[in-house]
Structure 1
Amino acid sequence: MIGYTMVGTTDLRRAERFYDPLMALIDQERCYCDEQVTSWGRRDNDRAPRFFTGYPFNGEAATVGNGVMTSFLVETADVIDRLFRIALENGGSSEGEPGFRPQYGEGFYAAYVRDPDGNKLAFVCYDARS
């Protein structure tokens, strides 16, 4: 259903420094990059969803929407813990420490961060072991 997701930035190089190590940890390759936008996904599968960050095409300032979040499905709780740490080390901020969220289902483990531009991200695993 999802073709791609895009979040705005005010500094593309800073956004790349934030997202590159996160995407590498979840096996997403940098697929495209120019002066306006950078994307990650699977180079060998152009039908797989991709994640983009870039400057808004209308030339106006990038703004963050309340209630907007991109969630990345992750294999294990350990990887989520590492993603959370890497995000904070690269200029992100915490919106919810890694942990189980039983209200969303047994085995639902997640962490929530904001990137340096304030875009909210979630890293989730639906069947983590305690």
Structure 2
Amino acid sequence: MISHVYIGISDFAAAHRFHAAVMAALGHAQRFCDESKPWAAWQPAGGGRPLFIIGHPYDGAPASAGNGQMTALLAPSRAAVDAAHAAALAHGGSCAGLPGLRPQYHANYYGAYFRDPDGNKFCVCCHDPA
């Protein structure tokens, strides 16, 4: 259903450090990085799609976070949720919700929320039982 997600960023070096750390914690491989554009993308560990891409907005206007928009990244385990949240905070992100169960979504929903240095909101979640 999803081919790719493109997130607008303003400072490529800072955004790349941030997203590379989060993606590594989730086990996703970098597919490409081109500082001259600038943009970078990650893919699932097994390859293929969907792609997660960061880069400057194509229209040349400043990047801005959307109100009510959030990108949710699937984690392979609850430990990966914890690791991704910790990586986000260690690389310039801000906490928007500590890791934990959220039974209001479903009994096994374990997630964490954070914002990247540009203010984009992310969720990292695992739907599997402990």
Report the counterpart of residue 54 of structure 1 in structure 2.
Answer: 55
Decide whether the 8 Å contact of 1:31 with 1:42 is kept in 2. no
More deviation in 90-99 or 24-33? 24-33
Question: Which digits, 9 at most, give the CA deviation of each residue in 1:91-129, with x for residues without a partner?
Answer: 000000001000000110000000000001100011232
User: After superposition, where does 1:19-38 map in structure 2 within 5 Å?
Assistant: 19-34=19-34, 35=36, 36-38=38-40
**Is the partner of 2:27 in helix, strand or coil?**
coil
- Deviation for aligned residue 1:19: 0.9
The 5 A counterparts of 1:16-95 are: 16-34=16-34, 35=36, 36-42=38-44, 45-46=47-48, 48-95=49-96
Give the residue type in structure 2 aligned to 1:31: R
Q: Greater shift after overlay, 102-111 or 33-42?
A: 33-42
CA contact (8 A) 2:31 2:43 kept: yes
Q: Secondary structure at the match of 2:107?
A: coil
Give the fraction of aligned pairs with identical amino acids, expressed as a percent.
38
Q: 1:112 is matched with which residue?
A: 113
The separation in 2 between residues aligned to 1:58 and 1:114, in whole angstroms, is 23
Across the two proteins, how many residue pairs are aligned to each other?
128
Q: Cα RMSD between the aligned structures?
A: 1.4
CA contact (8 A) 2:33 2:39 kept: yes
Cα distance in 2 for partners of 1:43, 1:123 equals 16
Task: Give 4+ residue runs of structure 1 displaced > 3 Å after superposition.
Answer: 42-46
Q: Which runs of 5+ in 1 are unaligned?
A: none
Give, in angstroms, the shift of residue 42 of structure 1.
4.4
Deviation at 1:45, TM superposition (A): 3.6
Q: C-alpha displacement at 1:43, in angstroms? A: 8.1
Q: List runs of 5+ in structure 2 lacking aligned partners.
A: none
Q: Residue 20 of structure 1: SS of its match in structure 2?
A: helix
Secondary structure, counterpart of 1:75 in structure 2: coil
Q: How far did residue 82 of structure 1 move?
A: 1.2
Please give the TM-score of this superposition, normalised by the length of structure 2: 0.92
Contact 1:71 1:122 in 2 (8 A): yes
